[in-house]
Structure 1
Amino acid sequence: MSPASAIAPSVPASGAAVRQPVYFISHGSPMLALQDSAARRFLQDLGRDVRAAGAPRAILVLSAHWETAAPTASVADQPETIHDFGGFPRALFEMRYPAPGAPEVARTALAALATAGITVTAGQARGLDHGAWVPLILMFPEADIPVAQLSIQPHLGAGYHRRLGAALRPLRDQGVLIVASGSLTHNLGALTWEGTDEVAPWAAAFQSWIHDKVSGADVAALDDYRARAPFARQNHPRDEHLLPLFAAVGAASPGQPGHRLHASVQLGALAMDAYRFD
Structure 2
Amino acid sequence: MKQPTLFIPHGGGPCFFMDPADPDRPHCDPIWQPMQDYLADIIASLPERPKAILLVSGHWEESRFTVHIGEKPGLLFDYYGFPPHTYTLRWDAPGAPALARRAAALLEQAGFPTGTEQQRGWDHGVFIPMKVALPQADIPVAQLSLRHDLDPQAHIAAGRALAPLRDEGVLIVGSGMSFHNLRVRGSQATEPATEWDEALTAAVTDPDPALRAARVAAWTELPNAHFAHPREEHLLPLMVALGAGGEGAATQSHHGTVMGWAISGYRFD
**TM-score, scaled to structure 1:** 0.86
Structure 2 residue 92 is the aligned partner of structure 1 residue 98: yes
The structure-2 alpha-carbon separation of the partners of 1:253 and 1:245, relative to structure 1 and needing over 3 Å to count, comes to same
User: Within 2, Cα distance between the matches of 1:219 and 1:230?
Assistant: 17
Q: 2:133 aligns with which of 139, 145, 149?
A: 139
Structure 2 residue 151 is the aligned partner of structure 1 residue 157: yes
Structure 2 residue 37 is the aligned partner of structure 1 residue 41: yes
Write out per-residue CA displacement over residues 93-132 of structure 1, whole angstroms, 9 at most, x where no aligned residue: 1211100010001111110000000111233343211001
115-124 or 245-254, which deviates more: 115-124
Match for 1:204: what amino acid? T
User: Within 2, Cα distance between the matches of 1:257 and 1:167?
Assistant: 18
**2:224 aligned residue:** 231
Query: Greater share of strand residues, 1 or 2?
Result: 2
Structure 2 residue 173 is the aligned partner of structure 1 residue 179: yes
Match for 1:127: what amino acid? G
Q: Is the 8 A contact 2:150 2:236 kept in 1?
A: no
User: Within 2, Cα distance between the matches of 1:123 and 1:170?
Assistant: 23
**2:25 aligned residue:** none
Identity of aligned residues (%): 38
Q: Is the 8 A contact 1:47 1:138 kept in 2?
A: no
**1:77 aligned residue:** 71
Q: Is the 8 A contact 2:160 2:243 kept in 1?
A: yes
Structure 2 residue 26 is the aligned partner of structure 1 residue 26: no
Residue 87 of structure 1 aligns to a residue whose secondary structure is: coil
Q: Is the 8 A contact 2:69 2:116 kept in 1?
A: no
How many equivalent pairs are there?
A: 252
Match for 1:264: what amino acid? G
The structural deviation recorded for 1:213 is 0.8
User: Within 1, Cα distance between the matches of 2:183 and 2:89?
Assistant: 27
Residue 178 of structure 2 aligns to a residue whose secondary structure is: coil
Structure 2 residue 197 is the aligned partner of structure 1 residue 204: no
Match for 2:82: what amino acid? F
Q: 1:260 aligns with which of 252, 264, 269?
A: 252
Match for 2:114: what amino acid? V
The structural deviation recorded for 1:183 is 0.5
Q: Is the 8 A contact 1:72 1:124 kept in 2?
A: no
Match for 1:272: what amino acid? I
Q: Is the 8 A contact 1:28 1:272 kept in 2?
A: no
Q: Within 5 A, what are the aligned runs for 1:241-260?
A: 241-254=234-247, 256-260=248-252
**1:108 aligned residue:** 102
The structural deviation recorded for 1:42 is 1.2
User: Within 2, Cα distance between the matches of 1:276 and 1:220?
Assistant: 17
Match for 1:259: what amino acid? T
Match for 2:235: what amino acid? L
The structural deviation recorded for 1:190 is 1.2
Structure 2 residue 265 is the aligned partner of structure 1 residue 274: yes
Q: Is the 8 A contact 1:214 1:257 kept in 2?
A: no
User: Within 2, Cα distance between the matches of 1:210 and 1:97?
Assistant: 32
User: Within 1, Cα distance between the matches of 2:152 and 2:101?
Assistant: 24
Residue 60 of structure 1 aligns to a residue whose secondary structure is: strand
Q: 2:62 aligns with which of 43, 46, 68?
A: 68
Long gaps (5+) in structure 1: 1-17
